[in-house]
Structure 1
Amino acid sequence: MSTPTRPAGEADGYYEYEDQSDAAHLHALGYESDFRRDMSPWANFSLGFTYLSPVVGVYTLFAFALATGGPPMIWSFVIVGLGQLMVALVFSEVVAQYPVAGGVYPWARRLWGRRYAWMTGWVYMVALLVTIASVVYGAGPYIAATFGFDASVNTTILCALGLLLLATLINLMGTRVLATAAMIGFTAEILGALVVGGWLLIAHREQSFGVLFDTFGTEGDGSYLPAFAAAALIGIYQYYGFEACGDVAEEVKDPGRLIPKAMRRTIYIGGAAATFVCLALVLAVTDIGAVISGEDADPVSTVLNEAFGSTGAKIVLLVVLLSFLSCAISLQAAASRLAYSYGRDDMIMGSSLLKKFSAKRHVPPYALIVAAVVPAVIVIGSKVSEDAITKIISFAALGIYLGFQMVVLAALRARLKGWVPSGKYTLGAWGLPVNIAALVYGVVAMINMAWPRTPDAAWYDNWIVALSGLVVVAVGLIYMAVHPLHDRSTAPYDDAIPKKDHVAR
Structure 2
Amino acid sequence: MATETPTSGSADGYYDFHDHDDAAHLHALGYQSEFKRDMSPWANFSLGFTYLSPVVGVYTVFAFALATGGPPMIWAFVLAGLGQLMVALIFSEVVAQFPVAGGVYPWARRLWGRKYAWMTGWVYIIALLVTISSVVYGAGPFIASVFGFTPSVDTTIACALGLLVLATIINFMGTSVLAKAAIIGFTAELVGALVVGAWLLIAHREQSITVLFDTFGTEGDSGSYLPAFAAAALIGVYQYYGFEACGDVAEEVKDPGRLIPKAMRQTIYIGGAAATFVCLALVLSVTDIGAVVSGEVTDPVSAVLEEAFGTVGARAVLVIVLLSFLSCAMSLQAAASRLLYSYGRDDMIMGSSLLKKFSPTRHIPPYALVVSAIVPAIIVIGSRVSENAITKIISFATLGMYLGFQMVILAALRARLKGWVPSGKYTLGAWGLPVNIIALVYGVIAMVNMAWPRTPDAAWYDNWIVALSGVIVVAVGLVYMAIHPLHDRSTAPYDDAIPKK
For the superposition of Structure 1 and Structure 2, which TM-score range results when normalised by the shorter chain? over 0.9
Alignment of 1:134-173 (within 5 A): 134-173=134-173
Residue 111 of structure 2 corresponds to which residue in structure 1?
111
- Name the amino acid aligned to 1:291: V
Alignment of 1:151-230 (within 5 A): 151-221=151-221, 222-230=223-231
Indicate conservation of the 8 Å contact 2:5/2:426, yes or no. no
Alignment of 1:369-384 (within 5 A): 369-383=370-384
Distance 2:334 2:88 in 1: 19
Alignment of 1:484-495 (within 5 A): 484-495=485-496
1:20, CA displacement in angstroms? Answer: 6.5
Q: Which runs of 5+ in 1 are unaligned?
A: 4-16, 501-505
1:39-80 CA deviation, whole Å, 9 max, x = no partner? 011100110110011111111111111111111111110111
Alignment of 1:440-459 (within 5 A): 440-459=441-460
Q: More deviation in 154-163 or 317-326?
A: 154-163
Residue 358 of structure 2 corresponds to which residue in structure 1?
357
SS in 1 for 2:220: coil
Distance 1:445 1:381 in 2: 27
SS in 1 for 2:409: helix
Distance 2:415 2:18 in 1: 30
Distance 1:310 1:229 in 2: 35
Indicate conservation of the 8 Å contact 1:18/1:254, yes or no. no
Distance 2:151 2:253 in 1: 40
- Name the amino acid aligned to 1:448: N
Distance 1:379 1:119 in 2: 24
Indicate conservation of the 8 Å contact 2:140/2:160, yes or no. yes
Change (3 A) 1:391 1:352: same
Change (3 A) 1:202 1:342: same
Residue 38 of structure 2 corresponds to which residue in structure 1?
38
SS in 1 for 2:412: helix
Distance 1:499 1:192 in 2: 51
1:418, CA displacement in angstroms? Answer: 0.3
Residue 8 of structure 1 corresponds to which residue in structure 2?
none
SS in 2 for 1:237: helix
1:161, CA displacement in angstroms? Answer: 1.4
- Name the amino acid aligned to 1:203: A
1:370, CA displacement in angstroms? Answer: 0.5
Q: More deviation in 221-230 or 392-401?
A: 392-401
Alignment of 1:318-337 (within 5 A): 318-337=319-338
1:59-115 CA deviation, whole Å, 9 max, x = no partner? 111111111111111111011100000000000000000000000000000000000
Alignment of 1:227-242 (within 5 A): 227-242=228-243
Change (3 A) 1:320 1:387: closer
Indicate conservation of the 8 Å contact 1:216/1:289, yes or no. yes
Distance 2:394 2:86 in 1: 26
Indicate conservation of the 8 Å contact 1:378/1:389, yes or no. no
Residue 9 of structure 1 corresponds to which residue in structure 2?
none
Indicate conservation of the 8 Å contact 1:394/1:468, yes or no. no
Distance 1:334 1:448 in 2: 26
Residue 424 of structure 1 corresponds to which residue in structure 2?
425
Distance 1:439 1:388 in 2: 29
- Name the amino acid aligned to 1:214: D
Indicate conservation of the 8 Å contact 1:379/1:389, yes or no. no
Q: Which runs of 4+ in 1 moved over 6 A?
A: 17-20, 387-390
- Name the amino acid aligned to 1:473: V
Alignment of 1:294-313 (within 5 A): 294-313=295-314
1:195-223 CA deviation, whole Å, 9 max, x = no partner? 11001111111111111111122112321
Residue 275 of structure 1 corresponds to which residue in structure 2?
276
- Name the amino acid aligned to 1:463: W
1:386, CA displacement in angstroms? Answer: 5.5
Indicate conservation of the 8 Å contact 1:381/1:389, yes or no. no
1:15-56 CA deviation, whole Å, 9 max, x = no partner? xx9997101110000000000000011100110110011111
Indicate conservation of the 8 Å contact 1:197/1:277, yes or no. yes
1:353-397 CA deviation, whole Å, 9 max, x = no partner? 100100100110000001011111112223455677865554211
- Name the amino acid aligned to 2:473: V
Indicate conservation of the 8 Å contact 1:392/1:468, yes or no. no
Distance 2:152 2:431 in 1: 52
Change (3 A) 1:388 1:265: closer
Indicate conservation of the 8 Å contact 2:240/2:268, yes or no. yes
Residue 89 of structure 1 corresponds to which residue in structure 2?
89
Residue 439 of structure 1 corresponds to which residue in structure 2?
440
Change (3 A) 1:266 1:162: same
1:154, CA displacement in angstroms? Answer: 2.6
Distance 1:147 1:388 in 2: 23
Alignment of 1:71-82 (within 5 A): 71-82=71-82
Percent identity over the alignment is 85
- Name the amino acid aligned to 2:152: S
Residue 245 of structure 2 corresponds to which residue in structure 1?
244
1:188, CA displacement in angstroms? Answer: 1.1
1:223-275 CA deviation, whole Å, 9 max, x = no partner? 11111111111000000000000000000000000000000000000000000
Indicate conservation of the 8 Å contact 1:69/1:227, yes or no. yes
1:158, CA displacement in angstroms? Answer: 1.9
Distance 1:379 1:81 in 2: 29
SS in 2 for 1:395: helix
Residue 410 of structure 2 corresponds to which residue in structure 1?
409
Residue 348 of structure 1 corresponds to which residue in structure 2?
349
Indicate conservation of the 8 Å contact 2:135/2:325, yes or no. yes
- Name the amino acid aligned to 1:112: W
- Name the amino acid aligned to 1:365: P
1:138-175 CA deviation, whole Å, 9 max, x = no partner? 11111111011232233222211111111111111111
1:271-330 CA deviation, whole Å, 9 max, x = no partner? 000000000011111111111111111111111111111111001110110011000000
- Name the amino acid aligned to 1:40: S
